[in-house]
C-alpha cells in the first residue's frame, strides 16, 4: 500500500462527515435509562470484586478540593476537543505520509465505539442515585460556575440535550487520549518533554474521567481495547477503501497511474509511456529533431590568371580570400602593393587579357558555377 499524502480539501470534509455521523448515531443510541443504570451498577460490583473501583476515592478528592476539581473540570470539558484535532493537524503537516493510517485508526476506533454505546448503554457514576450507596458527586455540575459547561456532562450551557449521557462504555476520552500519546511517541521529537506528554496525557485523562465521575475504571479499559481493535482494523479498512477507489477510476495521487496501478506524481507523468496510437492522449511525444549541421564555408575559387575563366558575377575581380588574408583587388598598371605574396606566380596584379580557352573563342567568359 503506497504512502500518499492526502489533501486538506478532501480530508476536512471527510473528518467532519465521520464525526457528524458519529455524533448523530451516538444521540440515537441512548437506550433505556433503567437498563443503563443496571449496567452501571453491574460494572461497579465487578470492579469491587477485583478492587478496581478507583473512581470512588478519586471523586471524593475532586469534590472536596477545588484545586483539583476545577482544573479537572476544565481538563475534561476542553482538552478532549482541542488536543486531538491539534495532534491530527500537526501529523498532517509534519508527517503527511504517515497521516492516512493514523487518521484511519482514529476514525475506525471512534466508529467502533458506537457498538458499545448501542449494545451496552451505561449510566455514568455521576448520574447514579445516592440511594444506591455510592455517593458520587457530579464535579462538573459542582464547579459549573467556573466555566461554560452545564450539569449535562461537558456540553456547553443550554446544549445538554445534544449529548448522550448514557454513553459511558467505552470511554473515548481515554481512547482518543491514548491515540494522541501513541502518535506523539512515534512521530514526535525524542525529547523528554514530548515523551512525558505522550505518556502523561492518557494517564491524566484516565484519572480525570474517574475523578469527575463521568466514567468507571472499566470504561477506560474498554476505551483502550477499542483503540487496539481499531488499529487492527484500520489496515484492512484502508485496503478496502483503496480498492473501491481504484474501481471508481480515481487516482491515489496527482498525476496519472503508472504500471501496476502505482501512482505517478504529476511532475513525472510525462515520462510514463502511454498507449500507442494515432494522436492518442497517452502516446509518447516524438523525439526532438536534431539541429541542422552548419553549412560548410564556401570554397575559395581563384580565377585570376586562368585564361578565359572568371568567377561568375565578378567582373574582373578576384574571389575573396580566407579570413585575415585581406581581399585581392584589381590593380591598375603599376600598382602591385595589394597583391598577396602567397599568390605570387598564380595571380596577376594586373588584369590579363582573355585568352582563348580550348575549344572556345577569345574573350568568352565562363558561365557561373562551371567546375575548374
The string of pLDDT tens digits covering residues 299-331 is 545 444 444 444 444 444 444 444 444 444 444
Residue 346, pLDDT above cutoff 50 = no
Stretch 154-173: mean pLDDT, rounded? 76
Helix runs in the chain, H state only:
8-28, 33-49, 55-64, 66-74, 80-94, 96-119, 139-142, 172-187, 192-211, 217-247
| Helix, strand, or coil (residue 266) | helix
What is the per-residue pLDDT across 231-249, written as a single tens digit (0 to 9) for each?
999 999 999 988 988 888 7
- Whose CA is closest to 255, among 240, 272, 238? 272
Distances from the Cα of 183 to the Cα of 22, 78, 237, angstroms = 22, 20, 19
Residue 277, pLDDT above cutoff 70 = no
Instruction: Tell me the range of 89-93, 150-154, 312-316, 351-355 where mean pLDDT is highest.
Output: 89-93
Residue 165, pLDDT above cutoff 50 = yes
For residue 37, the model assigns a pLDDT of 95
For residue 309, the model assigns a pLDDT of 43
Stretch 291-302: mean pLDDT, rounded? 55
For residue 226, the model assigns a pLDDT of 97
Of 82-96, 105-119, 123-137, 312-326, the least confident:
312-326
Percent of the chain exceeding pLDDT 90 equals 44
| Helix, strand, or coil (residue 185) | helix
| Helix, strand, or coil (residue 228) | helix
Q: What is the DSSP string of 33-72?
A: HHHHHHHHHHHHHHHHHTT--THHHHHHHHHH-HHHHHHH
For residue 36, the model assigns a pLDDT of 93
> Per the structure block, which three cell numbers stand in for 366?
565562363
What is the per-residue pLDDT across 31-81, written as a single tens digit (0 to 9) for each?
788 999 999 999 999 999 999 999 999 999 999 999 999 999 999 999 999
More confident residue, 170 or 308: 170
Reported confidence tier of residue 278, pLDDT bands at 50, 70, 90? very low
What is the per-residue pLDDT across 250-261, written as a single tens digit (0 to 9) for each?
544 444 444 444
Reported confidence tier of residue 17, pLDDT bands at 50, 70, 90? confident
Residue 361, pLDDT above cutoff 70 = no
Reported confidence tier of residue 5, pLDDT bands at 50, 70, 90? low
Residue 262, pLDDT above cutoff 80 = no
| Helix, strand, or coil (residue 217) | helix
Mean pLDDT of the chain: 75
CB 64 within 8 A of CB 196: no
Amino acid at each position: 500500500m503506497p504512502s500518499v499524502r492526502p489533501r486538506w480539501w478532501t480530508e476536512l470534509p471527510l473528518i467532519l462527515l465521520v464525526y457528524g455521523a458519529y455524533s448523530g448515531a451516538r444521540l440515537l443510541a441512548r437506550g433505556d435509562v433503567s437498563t443503563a443504570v443496571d449496567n452501571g451498577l453491574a460494572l461497579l460490583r465487578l470492579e469491587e470484586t477485583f478492587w478496581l473501583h478507583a473512581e470512588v476515592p478519586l471523586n471524593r478528592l475532586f469534590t472536596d478540593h477545588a484545586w483539583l476539581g476545577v482544573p479537572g473540570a476544565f481538563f475534561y470539558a476542553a482538552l478532549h476537543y482541542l488536543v486531538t484535532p491539534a495532534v491530527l493537524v500537526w501529523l498532517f503537516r509534519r508527517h503527511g505520509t504517515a497521516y492516512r493510517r493514523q487518521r484511519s485508526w482514529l476514525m475506525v476506533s471512534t466508529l467502533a465505539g458506537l457498538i458499545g454505546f448501542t449494545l451496552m448503554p451505561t449510566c455514568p457514576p455521576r448520574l447514579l442515585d445516592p440511594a444506591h450507596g455510592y455517593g458520587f458527586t457530579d464535579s462538573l455540575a459542582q464547579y459549573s460556575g467556573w466555566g461554560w459547561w452545564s450539569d449535562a456532562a461537558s456540553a456547553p450551557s443550554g446544549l445538554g440535550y445534544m449529548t448522550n449521557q448514557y454513553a459511558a462504555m467505552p470511554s473515548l476520552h481515554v481512547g482518543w487520549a491514548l491515540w494522541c500519546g501513541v502518535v506523539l511517541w512515534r512521530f514526535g521529537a525524542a525529547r523528554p518533554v514530548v515523551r512525558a506528554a505522550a505518556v502523561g496525557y492518557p494517564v491524566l485523562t484516565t484519572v480525570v474521567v474517574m475523578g469527575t465521575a463521568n466514567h468507571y475504571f472499566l470504561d477506560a479499559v474498554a476505551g483502550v481495547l477499542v483503540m487496539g481493535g481499531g488499529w487492527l482494523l484500520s489496515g484492512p479498512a484502508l485496503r478496502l477503501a483503496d480498492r473501491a477507489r481504484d474501481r471508481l477510476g480515481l487516482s491515489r495521487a496527482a498525476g496519472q497511474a503508472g504500471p501496476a496501478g502505482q501512482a505517478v506524481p504529476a511532475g513525472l507523468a510525462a515520462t510514463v509511456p502511454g498507449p500507442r496510437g494515432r494522436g492518442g492522449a497517452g502516446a509518447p511525444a516524438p523525439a526532438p529533431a536534431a539541429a541542422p549541421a552548419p553549412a560548410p564555408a564556401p570554397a575559395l575559387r581563384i580565377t585570376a590568371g586562368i585564361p578565359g575563366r572568371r568567377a561568375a558575377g565578378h567582373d574582373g575581380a578576384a574571389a575573396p580570400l580566407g579570413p585575415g588574408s585581406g581581399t585581392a583587388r584589381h590593380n591598375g598598371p603599376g600598382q602591385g602593393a595589394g597583391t598577396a605574396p602567397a599568390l605570387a606566380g598564380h595571380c596577376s596584379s594586373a588584369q590579363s587579357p582573355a585568352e582563348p580557352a580550348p575549344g572556345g573563342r577569345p574573350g568568352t567568359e565562363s558561365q557561373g558555377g562551371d567546375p575548374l
